[in-house]
Amino acid sequence: MPDDKTIHLKIKRQDQPDGKSYWEEFELPRKPRANVISCLMDIQMHPITREGKEVTPVVWECNCLEEVCGACTMVINGKVRQACTALVDALPQPIVLEPMSKFPLVRDLHVDRSRMFENLKKVKAWIHIDGTYDIGEGPVIPEKQRAKAYLLSECMTCGCCLEACPQFAKDNDFMGASTFSQVRLFNMHPTGAMEQEERLDAIMGEGGIADCGNAQVCVEVCPKKIPLTESIAEIGRETTLQLLKNLFLK
Amino acid sequence: MRKRKPQYIVIGGGLAGLAATMKLCEDKAKVTLVSYQPVKRSHSVCAQGGINAAIDTKGEGDSPESHFYDTVKGGDFLAHQPLVRDMCYQAPAIIHLMDRLGVAFNRTPEGHLEFRRFGGTLYSRTAFAGSTTGQQLLYALDEQVRRYESEGQVKKLEWHEYLSAVLDSEGICRGAVLHDLRSGEIFTVKGDAVVLATGGPAQVYGKTTGSTVCNGAATTSAYLQGAKYANGEFIQVHPTAIPGQDKLRLMSESARGEGGRIWVSRKQNDNRDPLNIPEEERYYFLEENHPRFGNLVPRDVASREIHDIVYNQKLGIGGQPMVYLDLTHHSEGFLEHRLGGILDIYTKFTGDDPKKVPMKIFPAVHYSMGGIWTDYEDDGNGLIDHKSPRNQMTSIPGLYAAGECDYQFHGANRLGANSLLSCIYTGLMMGPGLIQYSRNLTSHVEEVSSTVFDQARDQWRGRMQAFKQMNGRENPYILHQELGEIMLANVLIVRENSRLAKALTQIDDLEIRFKDLQCPDTTHWSNPAPSMIQQLHCQIQLAKIITKGALIRNEFRGAHYKPEFDLNQPEDFDPHEYVEYNEKRQYGEIREDEFPPGHTSYMKRYEECNEKWLKTTIAEYQNNQPEISFEEVNTSLVQPRPRKYD
């Protein structure tokens, strides 16, 4: 039985994208300030299950370990979040680790979130500048507007909002909250706004904003507390206007 | 005939790699961008506090020249001055460019860029985007590169690992050997040149502020292929990090830039709640010892003082190796607005709210001033020739380096908020030279015999297969942890020759045990174990470079502190005396009583020390060991002088 000296982990594993998943359990010595990452690192050093079976170390994705890169996102005790900020002392045991279910699985807890980056291409999530040469200062921007943009630009493409979204699925094209929020971010910028029609057009087709079912769970799971539902509402209004413009002016 | 498009391979998608890619694409080149992971997750995201540029928006009289002086002084005069000066003069244009790319830099009431204070300078020179400046800068460059990717100019190979350069019969770099981290396939790609933008070597020390990918393997691989490695022993220890089990998380210098105060109780083993320790019983040691710079002394100075407080004076919090970093005198609104992101990190990892209670912090390995040796070309008057193909080229022709993995900008100690600058600067600056390099090539990569590529590939296939088949008794992850422990115990803030020599022996022992590794995973799909073993092999070599360089360098310079060789600067010494001393000497003899007692002999000691040690350390791989030699440093613009931060 796990006590205050040990940590009990239950991990969903899968060797290949088309393989079958299976569960393995591990019992580790408890260390001060441990998080899920440090547990997985301990398993790398002692890849032995609770039953004493020697196994391969668990594969997962991580990098910064301070919740700014988004890499180590997984489902922990049923909730999608980053493993680095999942402190062991704050988690009921056994700690259950699963890969995100809405993205193609690579191996164990590692999934492929390329779809999110492809969506950023579709909506032209960038500021189109004339060139990198020194042509002077950028636009004057009110601090209030800057602060609003900053909130949105903290999105680390982690995918929590999409994992939680009932509309987002492996077999559809729904872009999801993170992409819509990026559209809002770039449309807010004085230079970015020059391409706002193209961005809005890109999210008015299939998989676009009209498919949002308004479940509002995205905003609840966002680790950066990005006002995603506010972004969806605002971009929704803008697309409606754009639709009318397209109807009457083109 | 269609004009041939130059083509490059950029390894690493942090600030330097992305800046280089963007610049090359602007010049119509084709770029293959290689990264362990989606480039948006690169380690640059961890940089918090800001990026320096002397734009002087507050009428403080700041200038790029002052920025240049602060940077070379901060680095204890070990950096080549023409290049540092060029960087500081380009800095305002770089900030404006990043601003135009949409970076959410904090603004003044009028809507212009806001600047704050940082360590090692008395000016407000640091632009910032909340407290995730690195993340915001990285995202802006990531977006530009994504645009070029969607237009077909950039091909990203994410989930790929760089194993080595492909060198032709003349030793010219013609491409790279890559490892697909999912399929396990090993193959080569061809290019006019290869750019290493692979960041720092933090993982050599195990637990640091670095990310897990900061393993130093790419630059070490270049070293093993014959490239020179420079100033390896200069490792920056950041004074303020949050102790943790998996890593030591950075607490940005911006916390002190915004008024954060470092203190301990004046009593040893004081276990009281910090809020109950009265003001007169608090020891604000940085402020007391450095009235002018206070908490914003450079990082090497602050880390040494904290080390001294904890280990010599035994004044750490409750006897533990920790000191307070206190922001509680500010309003919660101010802190949320200026430092929100980093304070959230502290709360998330410790459960305490730094807006209400002082943070507990301790120094941690943070940055490598040293790195792969790179070149530059100046016109002899201190101006950089921006079209020269020599700029940022390693000692292997056609192999370039930029960002933290190169050594040129920070000397013996880096100033805060200069790393983001040097990363973007090198990435952008090297572009025209790379294009020129392609134009100058007498034979193109298409003409190089395919056997050159096949051999490189086959050699690595054999090597990685051998790692995978290792069936000894040692676990590579445990060995890596032990390597870090050796380095942390012996090659850190305070360095002693006996311990450095011991560390070298321990690293040699570890290298013997390396041969007895067991690869813990022998499957074929998405198996990180063979790569980890290859990286560990590189880290052992890199640990030798760092430790041997530290052992040989018998002086105290910047982050390299050997108490035995401290020149013991007199307390009342003013660095300008040394400038005066030099000038007077040019005009003849100096009377013994011209300067206060003890000062002349100190200045003579300083001079002798510089004569011997104001040199770049060069490590070259020979007989499985780093051979150390020294090269001159270009100090043609500012007279080196003793550092002092009073």
- Name the catalytic one among B249, B299, B338, B557: B299
Contact present, B268 and B356 (Cβ < 8 Å): no
Helix, strand or coil, per DSSP, at residue A72: coil
Q: What is the identity of the amino acid at A79?
A: K
Instruction: Tell me how far apart the alpha carbons of residues B401 and B391 are, in angstroms, rounded to a whole number.
Output: 9
CATH superfamily for A114-249 is: Alpha-helical ferredoxin (1.10.1060.10)
The DSSP bridge partners found for residue A81 are A74
Which B-chain residues 114-153 have CB contacts (< 8 A) with chain A?
114, 129-130, 132, 135-136, 139-140, 143-144, 146-147, 149-150
Structure-derived torsion over alpha carbons of residues B497, B502, B505, B511, reported in degrees to the nearest 10: -110
Which B-chain residues 163-192 have CB contacts (< 8 A) with chain A?
182
Task: Tell me what pLDDT residue A1 has.
Answer: 43
CA distance B372 to chain A (A): 23
Task: Tell me what pLDDT residue B218 has.
Answer: 98
Interchain proximity B525–A107, CB inside 8 Å:
yes
pLDDT digits (tens, 9 = 90+) for A65-88: 999 999 999 999 999 999 999 999
pLDDT digits (tens, 9 = 90+) for B560-572: 999 999 999 999 9
B530: preceding bond cis by omega (within 30 degrees): no
Query: Which residues of chain A lie closer than 8 angstroms to B246, CB-CB?
Result: 35, 37-38, 41, 65, 84
Query: Which residues of chain A lie closer than 8 angstroms to B200, CB-CB?
Result: none
Instruction: Tell me how far apart the alpha carbons of residues B441 and B205 are, in angstroms, rounded to a whole number.
Output: 40
Report percent pLDDT > 90 for chain B: 93
* Predicted confidence band of residue B244 (pLDDT cuts 50, 70, 90): confident
CA distance B242 to chain A (A): 11
Query: Which residues of chain B lie closer than 8 angstroms to A186, CB-CB?
Result: 102
Instruction: Tell me how far apart the alpha carbons of residues B133 and B198 are, in angstroms, rounded to a whole number.
Output: 19
pLDDT digits (tens, 9 = 90+) for B39-57: 999 999 999 989 999 999 9
Q: List alpha helices for B114-170, DSSP H.
A: 133-150
Task: Tell me what pLDDT residue B93 has.
Answer: 98
Quick check: B215 pLDDT over 50? yes
Taking the Cβ of residue B28 and every Cβ of chain A, the question of whether any pair is shorter than 8 Å is answered with: no
Write out the residue limits of the CATH 3.10.20.30 domain(s) in chain A. Answer: 6-111
Task: Tell me what pLDDT residue B637 has.
Answer: 96
Give the end-to-end CA distance of chain B in Å, rounded to a whole number: 65
CA distance B505 to chain A (A): 24
Task: Tell me what pLDDT residue A3 has.
Answer: 63
Long-range (24+ apart) CB contacts under 8 A made by B160-164 are B160/B34, B160/B35, B160/B36, B161/B34, B161/B36, B161/B531, B162/B11, B162/B34, B162/B196, B162/B198, B162/B217, B162/B218, B162/B221, B163/B221, B163/B460, B163/B464, B163/B534, B164/B221, B164/B222, B164/B224, B164/B225, B164/B456, B164/B460
Interchain proximity A121–B46, CB inside 8 Å:
no
Interacting residues of A142 by C-beta distance below 8 A, sequence separation 6+: B107, B111
Q: Where are the beta strands (DSSP E) in B243-318?
A: 249-250, 261-265, 282-283
Long-range (24+ apart) CB contacts under 8 A made by B576-583 are B576/B641, B577/B603, B578/B603, B578/B606, B578/B641, B578/B642, B579/B639, B579/B641, B582/B639
Contact present, A44 and A56 (Cβ < 8 Å): no
Instruction: Tell me how far apart the alpha carbons of residues B229 and B227 are, in angstroms, rounded to a whole number.
Output: 7
What is the CB neighbour count within 10 angstroms for residue B166? 28
Q: Indicate if the alpha-carbon torsion angle A187, A193, A196, A197 is positive or negative.
A: positive
Candidates B108, B246, B528; nearest CB to A37: B246
Q: Which run of H or of E encompasses B602?
A: helix B599-613
Helix, strand or coil, per DSSP, at residue B19: helix
Quick check: B263 pLDDT over 50? yes
HSE on the CB side for B388, CA within 13 Å?
A: 15
Interchain proximity A186–B93, CB inside 8 Å:
no
CA distance B44 to chain A (A): 9
What average pLDDT score do residues B481-495 get? 97
Task: Tell me what pLDDT residue B28 has.
Answer: 96
Q: Which run of H or of E encompasses B229?
A: strand B229-230
Catalytic residue status for B457: no
Interchain proximity B135–A68, CB inside 8 Å:
yes
Residue of chain B minimizing CA distance to A64 = B211
* Domain covering B238-366 assigned CATH 1.10.3720.10 in the classification: no
Q: Which run of H or of E encompasses B3?
A: none
Taking the Cβ of residue B213 and every Cβ of chain A, the question of whether any pair is shorter than 8 Å is answered with: yes
Quick check: B529 pLDDT over 70? yes
Quick check: B240 pLDDT over 50? yes
pLDDT mean across residues, chain B: 96
Task: Tell me what pLDDT residue B78 has.
Answer: 98
Q: Where are the beta strands (DSSP E) in B159-217?
A: 160-167, 173-180, 186-190, 193-196
Interchain proximity A129–B101, CB inside 8 Å:
yes
What average pLDDT score do residues B202-214 get? 96
Candidates B22, B38, B246; nearest CB to A35: B246
Taking the Cβ of residue A30 and every Cβ of chain B, the question of whether any pair is shorter than 8 Å is answered with: no
Instruction: Tell me how far apart the alpha carbons of residues B423 and B411 are, in angstroms, rounded to a whole number.
Output: 15
Task: Tell me what pLDDT residue B202 has.
Answer: 97
Task: Tell me what pLDDT residue A248 has.
Answer: 87
pLDDT mean across residues, chain A: 96
Query: Which residues of chain B lie closer than 8 angstroms to A137, CB-CB?
Result: 96, 99, 112
Interchain proximity B106–A146, CB inside 8 Å:
yes
Distance from CA of residue A135 to its chain's centroid?
Answer: 36
CA distance A112 to chain B (A): 10
Write out the residue limits of the CATH 1.10.1060.10 domain(s) in chain A. Answer: 114-249
∠ CA(A126), CA(A131), CA(A135), 5° rounding? Answer: 115
Task: Tell me what pLDDT residue B451 has.
Answer: 97
Taking the Cβ of residue A58 and every Cβ of chain B, the question of whether any pair is shorter than 8 Å is answered with: no
Query: Which residues of chain A lie closer than 8 angstroms to B521, CB-CB?
Result: 56-57
Interacting residues of B426 by C-beta distance below 8 A, sequence separation 6+: B16, B19, B20, B392, B402, B403, B406, B408, B409
Strands B173-180 and B282-283: unpaired
Instruction: Tell me how far apart the alpha carbons of residues A116 and B505 are, in angstroms, rounded to a whole number.
Output: 49
Instruction: Tell me how far apart the alpha carbons of residues A135 and B96 are, in angstroms, rounded to a whole number.
Output: 8
Query: Which residues of chain A lie closer than 8 angstroms to B40, CB-CB?
Result: 69-70, 117, 156-157
Distance from CA of residue B508 to its chain's centroid?
Answer: 26
* Predicted confidence band of residue A182 (pLDDT cuts 50, 70, 90): very high
Query: Of the ranges A145-159, B190-204, B575-589, which one carries the lowest mean pLDDT score?
Result: B575-589
HSE on the CB side for A120, CA within 13 Å?
A: 27
pLDDT digits (tens, 9 = 90+) for B296-343: 999 999 999 999 999 999 999 999 999 999 999 999 999 988 888 889
CATH number for region A6-111? 3.10.20.30
Pick from B42, B36, B33, B35: nearest CA to B9: B33
Pick from B554, B557, B540, B569: nearest CA to B496: B554
Indicate the burial class of B127 (C-beta count within 10 angstroms; 0-12, 13-18, 19 or more).
buried
The yes/no answer to whether this complex scores an ipTM above 0.95 is yes
Taking the Cβ of residue B353 and every Cβ of chain A, the question of whether any pair is shorter than 8 Å is answered with: no
Q: List alpha helices for A154-227, DSSP H.
A: 160-164, 177-188, 196-202, 217-221
Q: How far is CA B484 from CA A225, B112, B126, B520, in A?
A: 36, 44, 33, 20
What is the CB neighbour count within 10 angstroms for residue B637? 16
Contact present, B50 and B133 (Cβ < 8 Å): yes
Candidates B40, B140, B526; nearest CB to A107: B526
Residue of chain A minimizing CA distance to B43 = A64
Contact present, B254 and B131 (Cβ < 8 Å): yes
Task: Tell me what pLDDT residue B1 has.
Answer: 47
